[in-house]
Each structure stands twice: as structure tokens, then as C-alpha cells.
Structure 1
Amino acid sequence: MQDLLKDYPSIIEQKIAWGDMDAAQHINNTVYFRYFESGRIAYFDEIGFSDFDQIGPILAETSCRYRIPLIHPDTISIATRIQTDSFYEFGFVMEHVVVSHQHQQIAAKGTSRIVSYDYSKREKAPLPQVLKDKMLACERK
């Protein structure tokens, strides 16, 4: 499993909740977006990009590719990284993987396009260089 996660600087673990399963008896497709959100927030907390009073992140777009179904009980690792070639003036793209401990496989892969947002002005803002530098440093660890 370490090989599946080796290129991701931010990894969190979580147990799958029984209540996240749907009538098809597997984790509902919408739950994966919450997994990605948890991974994003952990990454942002790590680098200090969580100040929602000033310049902070806002989700502009997200996608998910499902690979294997997840069911309860299982534990997952949610791994997150930045596509370092995706930086532009107002944001960047993150990649996520959800790995099943039971199956030792990637259950889902996804992306999130993040925009730097000025919450006081309610508009996009240039991504501060200091935050970009922190992300690049996080990616090198």
C-alpha cells in the first residue's frame, strides 16, 4: 500500500461509516467527494491556507473516477497532492486518491480545481506567492 501513497505528501486515514452505504450496499458515489474534501482541508491546514476571513481556497470544480466499490467495514487512506504544473495566477489543481486498506487498492481517483478567493471582497484573488511556495515545499517533502 505504501507504493500507492508514496507520491502524496498529505495522507489521512478514516474508517468507513455504515451509514455511508446506499441501497446498492456500497459507499454512495457522493461520499467520495466528502473524502476528497477531508483530504483537501487536511492539506490546507498543514500549509496554513485555511484563513476564511481573508485569502483562502474555494472549490471551483471537482471530478471522481471510481475504480472499486467500498463497503463497511473498511479503513481508507485519503491522499492529496498538488499538480505542480497546474499553477496559474488564481489557483491550481489538486489530485486525490482513496485507498482501501482491506483491498490494498485504489478505490477512487479525483481532482479538485481550487481558486484563491478573497472572502472579504467575495471575489477571486491572485494566489499569494507565499502559499504557492509552501505548497511546493510540501510537495518536495
Structure 2
Amino acid sequence: MNLKNFNFKTLIPIRFCDMDAFGHVNNALYLTYFEIARSSYWKEVVRWDWSKLSVVIGKAEVNYLVPLKYGDVLYAYVRTSRTGKSSFDLEYVLAVAKKDSEEIVATGKTVCIAYDHSIGKSVPIPDYQLAKMKDFEMLVT
């Protein structure tokens, strides 16, 4: 996966409590790291209006490539790779800073669904948020 295809990057702190008995980050935490990155992306890029509409995750996948260790400087890259009527896909790359580069340690994807809890079902993605995602990612309609 090419990091140049991502327009959004955020620092993810690795905490001591993220470690497991084997001395690396527990695999369950990768989804938490995706969530932290996704929340930052939505706040800074999409400006999702949580008072009106929620997002639920319909599917999540993680590809583990290299173990993470305490002290690693971790960055998460996020991008919207597909938009539909009520769902969209987010792709993620977790990369560790090295001296002159970054090493990709995991990749992933979530299928996100615009959801109205008051009626208990999916709804169309609001035009404003859809436009923000498409414009930021330069997605073709």
C-alpha cells in the first residue's frame, strides 16, 4: 500500500497498557488505533454532525504485518476509498517512524454505515459530509 495515496495522517500514542505478555501490542488494539484515527479524520476532515446522525461499523478487517512495540512512534493513515448511498469504506495504514522513512506494520478497512438510532436503521450519508469526503480524497462521483 502506498502512503502517498493517503491525505490524512495522525499520531497514535502507544501506551504501556497496550502491551501483552509477549512484549508487543495486543492484536485487539489495532482496531482501537483505527477508531482513534477514524475519529480524528471525521473531526478534522468530514466534520460529522454527531448530534444528527451516527455511524456504525458494518465490517472491519486488519492485516497484521509487523509487531508493534512499546516506544514505537506510530502514525495512522486514513482515507475514504468508496462511497455509496448510506455506506462508505475507510482504509487504514499503521506505520512506524524509522530514521528516514516509515515501515508499514498493519493495514485495514472498515465499512461504515450512516445510521439513525432514533429510527433504528441506515440512512443516506448527508450531502455535506459526502462532499467533504469526496473533495478531500478527490474521489470521482
Output the TM-score relative to the length of structure 2: 0.87
Assess if the C-alpha contact under 8 Å between 1:56 and 1:119 holds in 2. yes
Match of 2:95 in 1: 99
Once superposed, what is the RMSD of the aligned Cα atoms?
1.7
Assess if the C-alpha contact under 8 Å between 2:12 and 2:37 holds in 1. no
Assess if the C-alpha contact under 8 Å between 1:54 and 1:120 holds in 2. no
Q: Aligned residues, how many?
A: 135
Match of 1:128 in 2: 126
Give unpaired runs (5+ residues) of structure 2: none
- Whether 1:42 and 2:40 are equivalent positions in the alignment is yes
**Within-5 A mapping of 1:1-141:** 5-46=3-44, 47-49=46-48, 51-83=49-81, 86-102=82-98, 104-140=102-138
**Aligned amino acid, residue 134 of structure 1:** K
Matched residues, percent identical? 27
Output the TM-score relative to the length of structure 1: 0.87
Give the CA deviation at 1:4.
5.0
Tell me the secondary structure at the aligned position of residue 22 of structure 1: coil
CA distance in structure 2 between the aligned counterparts of 1:15 and 1:118, rounded to whole angstroms: 32
Assess if the C-alpha contact under 8 Å between 1:26 and 1:69 holds in 2. yes
Tell me the secondary structure at the aligned position of residue 11 of structure 2: strand
Give the CA deviation at 1:23.
1.1
Runs of 4+ in structure 1 off by over 6 angstroms are: none
Tell me the secondary structure at the aligned position of residue 126 of structure 1: coil
Give unpaired runs (5+ residues) of structure 1: none
Give the CA deviation at 1:75.
1.0
**Aligned amino acid, residue 48 of structure 1:** R
